[in-house]
């Protein structure tokens, strides 16, 4: 019930931003700040503590690239500073989720169409050149916490074309319900994967008593347009893998 009330307030305030901000660039900026405000409020309300390490300067543009476990890492990352998140057009067409992503200022991509994805790559480049921070999840899906999936490479080239760095970051769970680490028994409460619905994922996560997570920014990676994109993607992924703490499958008694 509390989440539904928050969602309604988020959508109403987002509607007024949309209504009274005609300039598209200004609207995106306001939506990104709007998203950060509500994500911070949500974290406080549901006892989610976000530890931030090595936070980059907020006024510096860059392509943020991180691992993806579900909506909690979205919430955490958005609470740190205003960003534009890249998500799928399929998400835009999903009831409720489409409205949420629209009011948060997301950039939509169609990964299954080469012609469309090149056009949308251009949109990402444009926002980066205008000074926005753009968040990309190159795994292209959320995972079950056992590892980091291979990266999709095309959209990562936006950084080189825009002349901004790739800023890798790693998201980890540090404590769940007062218990240290990322224990297997809590996986379905914090990860959104497989057949778990959005509603169930929300319910599972917000039923927890407390949560401590960490967003650690790693060294920026500067690339050029003629760099091998496979090499770049693999190098960035390895940086994240080296810092990621997967779900602990050890049985505890």
Helix (H), strand (E) at residue 189: helix 187-190
pLDDT of residue 156: 96
pLDDT of residue 253: 56
Q: Which domains does the chain have, with CATH numbers?
A: 2-243 (3.40.1130)
Report which of 174, 171, 156, 163 is spatially closest to residue 68, judged by C-alpha positions: 171
Find residue 135's DSSP bridge partners: 64, 85
Whether residue 247 has pLDDT greater than 70: yes
pLDDT confidence band for 55 (50 / 70 / 90): very high
pLDDT confidence band for 251 (50 / 70 / 90): low
Residue 86, classed as helix, strand or coil, is strand
- In this prediction, residues 146-154 reach a mean pLDDT of 95
Number of Cα atoms under 13 Å in the Cβ half of residue 2? 10
| Chain segment 125-136, per-residue pLDDT in tens | 999 999 999 999
- In this prediction, residues 17-22 reach a mean pLDDT of 94
| Chain segment 151-199, per-residue pLDDT in tens | 999 999 999 999 999 999 999 999 999 999 999 999 999 999 999 988 8
Whether residue 252 has pLDDT greater than 70: no
State the pTM of this model.
Answer: 0.92
pLDDT of residue 116: 76
**φ, ψ dihedrals at 103, nearest 5°:** -75, -10
- In this prediction, residues 32-56 reach a mean pLDDT of 95
Instruction: Name residues whose C-beta falls within 8 Å of residue 105's C-beta, 6 or more positions apart in sequence.
Output: 27, 28, 29, 30, 31, 32, 34, 35, 84, 85
pLDDT of residue 111: 72
């Amino acid at each position: 019930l509390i989440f539904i009330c928050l969602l309604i307030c988020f959508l109403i305030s987002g509607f007024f931003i949309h209504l009274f901000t005609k300039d598209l660039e200004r609207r995106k900026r306001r939506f990104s700040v709007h998203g950060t405000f509500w994500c911070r409020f949500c974290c406080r309300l549901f006892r989610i503590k976000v530890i931030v390490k090595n936070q980059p300067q907020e006024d510096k543009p860059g392509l943020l690239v991180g691992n993806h476990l579900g909506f909690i890492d979205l919430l955490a990352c958005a609470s740190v500073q205003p960003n534009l998140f890249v998500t799928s057009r399929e998400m835009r067409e999903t009831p409720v989720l489409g409205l949420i992503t629209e009011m948060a200022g997301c950039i939509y991509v169609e990964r299954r169409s080469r012609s469309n994805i090149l056009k949308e790559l251009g949109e990402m480049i444009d926002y980066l050149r205008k000074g926005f921070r753009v968040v990309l999840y190159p795994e292209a899906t959320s995972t079950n916490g056992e590892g980091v999936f291979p990266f999709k490479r095309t959209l990562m080239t936006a950084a080189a074309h825009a002349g901004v760095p790739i800023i890798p970051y790693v998201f980890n769970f540090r404590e769940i319900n007062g218990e240290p680490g990322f224990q297997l028994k809590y996986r379905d409460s914090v990860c959104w994967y497989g057949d778990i619905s959005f509603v169930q994922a929300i319910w599972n996560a917000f039923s927890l008593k407390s949560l401590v997570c960490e967003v650690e920014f790693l060294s920026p990676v500067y690339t050029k347009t003629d760099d091998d994109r496979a090499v770049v993607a693999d190098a960035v992924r390895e940086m994240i893998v080296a810092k990621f703490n997967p779900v602990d499958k050890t049985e505890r008694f």
